Amino acid sequence: MNFEFTEEQIMIRDMVRDFTQREIAPLDEELDRNGFSHALYEKMKEMGLMGIHFPEQYGGADGDAVTSALTIHEIAKGSASIALFLDAHWLAADTILYHGTEAQKTKYLPMAANEGIFAFALTEPAAGSDAAGIQTTATKVEGGWLLRGSKAWITNAGVADVCVVLAKTDPDAGAKGITAFIVEKGTPGFLVGRKEDKMGMRGSNTTELILEDVKVPDENLLGEIGGGFKIAMIALDGARISIGAIAAGLAEHAMNIAKDYANQRVAFGRPIAKLFAIQEKIANMAIGIRATQLMTYDAAKLKAEGKRHTKEAAMVKVFGAEMCSKTCAEAIQTLGGYGYSKEYHVERLLRDAKLLEIGEGTSEILRMVIGTTVLAEKD
């Protein structure tokens, strides 16, 4: 695609593409069977991928939102699970990058870039889409806060060193009563709960978190008291661009399997690639992938320029996620019976794709966000 990347972005894209082909893609099937790989994380860290868009002074590579979209996009061509792992790491770390005090940035961003895994804990067993309805509480005590409650469906939680946790500091104030806290692994009472046995994205770790009177020091309060919901929504705007990038990369992975198969599979005396029914499927896949790429980089550019991108990020997430599920399903159809077997991998890609319609805001919720925004626009 011809989006205008800088020379440095192209260099990073090619470096991540090469790393993905060598180190990530060959592991995707094994990750689906065995779960998250610490060995692969160590290699990603060595490559400098974990903090690629953080400023150099905090241990990063000084990239921007376009650089992070490029990185996630390339990784997703080899493994959507690993792209999701990085997306969740950044979802948490970016809250500190954008809202942390200087002391928090100096302590935690180099850690996120070079030492530890981060997780972002908003969702609870009884509150997902209705995020303002969370019930985890944070009560003020001498020198800090006591966090009590539980979180569900937290990506990276079981392997994380640092977790950004959203809790109610004023249970009667709705969204305005939510505050963000930085919680370190090993803090007494901060426990990893049940590991989710997921349909797809099995190479990323997803667990419950249990908070039993976890004492968090005052210096780990992130942003303002009552400002946590806003911090979470800003972080999710950025992460939805990453979901667009995952959708584009994962769908391309599926399309390439379908293309290769269509060119070699013979039916009625000629390759099925010669049949219009198959050409039409590939054409629709290619159109959807290109549109998702353009929407992803357009939203990333708005973010990089410091412009509002809530609507555009929601649009690319809805469009990309649905395009990706459809592309994976059509890739299976292109392979016929073989598509339904684990041998050709597209069944795994469809299982991975479905998450994109659910995590970080469901398609239904995001259509509400887009619809209300567009209806309120003057022209």
Ligand X SMILES: Cc1cc2nc3c(=O)[nH]c(=O)nc-3n(C[C@H](O)[C@H](O)[C@H](O)COP(=O)(O)OP(=O)(O)OC[C@H]3O[C@@H](n4cnc5c(N)ncnc54)[C@H](O)[C@@H]3O)c2cc1C
- Give the residues lining the site for ligand X (CB under 6 A): 88, 120-123, 128-129, 153-155, 198, 201, 206, 355, 358-362, 364-365, 368
Minimal CA–CA distance to 340: which of 350, 327, 325? 350
- In the complex, minimum distance from the CB of residue 140 to ligand X, in angstroms, rounded to a whole number: 24
CB-nearer residue toward ligand X: 137 or 333:
137
Does 360 participate in catalysis according to the annotation? Answer: yes
Length of the chain: 379
Residue nearest to ligand X as judged by C-beta position: 128
For residue 3, CA distances in Å to 11, 65, 70, 75 come to: 14, 14, 11, 18
Minimal CA–CA distance to 328: which of 239, 216, 247, 222? 247
- In the complex, minimum distance from the CB of residue 191 to ligand X, in angstroms, rounded to a whole number: 17
∠ Cα 184 189 194 (to 5°)? 90
Q: How far apart are CA 144 and CA 105, in angstroms?
A: 19
- In the complex, minimum distance from the CB of residue 114 to ligand X, in angstroms, rounded to a whole number: 22
In DSSP notation, 24-77 reads IGGGHHHHHHH---HHHHHHHHHTT-TTTTS-GGGTS----HHHHHHHHHHHHT
For residue 125, give both structure tokens: 């067993």
- In the complex, minimum distance from the CB of residue 377 to ligand X, in angstroms, rounded to a whole number: 21
Contacts of 234 (CB under 8 A, 6+ apart): 95, 98, 99
Minimal CA–CA distance to 118: which of 290, 269, 235? 235
- In the complex, minimum distance from the CB of residue 180 to ligand X, in angstroms, rounded to a whole number: 12
The catalytic position among 196, 360, 364, 377 is: 360
CB-nearer residue toward ligand X: 125 or 336:
125
Minimal CA–CA distance to 296: which of 317, 326, 311, 327? 317
Q: Can you list the positions of beta strands (E) in 220-371?
A: 221-222, 266-267, 270-271
Catalytic residues: 360
